[in-house]
Amino acid sequence: MTDAPPPDATQHAASAHAGPTGHRPRRALLLSVFFGLAAFAYVFDQLTKLWVTATMIEGERIPVLPPLLHWYYIRNSGAAFSIGENVTWVFTLIMTAVSIAILLQLRKLGSLWWALALGLLLGGALGNLTDRLFREPSFAMGHVVDFIQLPNFAIFNIADSAVVSAVVIICLLTLRGIALDGSHPTKDTVKHDS
């Protein structure tokens, strides 16, 4: 008959197994959140663009909550604020690279908030990439459908909203020192040093 390990050894082994952040969400949950949000952002974006192109004429402006919100259907060949209108293909390449980079980072994913942010980012990127690839005037040179107009601001779409929301979350996570795997390197260093 062997003696039971001392309580300190059991606690140390359990904490080492849990990792530096304690209880991490299961990987299946993280991937479900990631793919679920990516799909939601993508489908919502494409359905709203389909609705706009089917019910509005390009250049048409419809008051929704005047003067705060209007639907204003335009097609944008550039990026935000119509930057780079003559190099549409560059944005197609950038969005493709961003989408691939996000998918490559999934193996490191260990945080629910990062899953949320990257899901929104991928869904938004793919929403606008679909426009670039398949809308007029030609493949990989398509113009993005924008329709949400706020006062003194660029006209945008649901994909843009998803991307901006993702960037805000990523900035907050970075400022708080939360890594993609869910660890807090700065807190871990302080605990280790003390």
Q: Decide: 132 and 165 in contact? Cβ < 8 Å.
A: no
| Catalytic site includes residue 160 | yes
Tokens of 65: 């909550």
The catalytically annotated residue of 146, 181, 188, 193 is 146
| Catalytic site includes residue 181 | no
Comparing CA positions, the residue from 191, 31, 45 lying closest to residue 114 is 31
Q: What's the number of CA atoms in the CB half-sphere (13 Å) around residue 7?
A: 0
The catalytically annotated residue of 8, 160, 188, 193 is 160
- Bond before 66 cis per omega within 30 degrees: no
Query: Using CA atoms, how far apart are residues 161 and 45, in angstroms rounded to an integer?
Result: 9
Query: Using CA atoms, how far apart are residues 28 and 33, in angstroms rounded to an integer?
Result: 9
Residues designated as active site: 146, 160
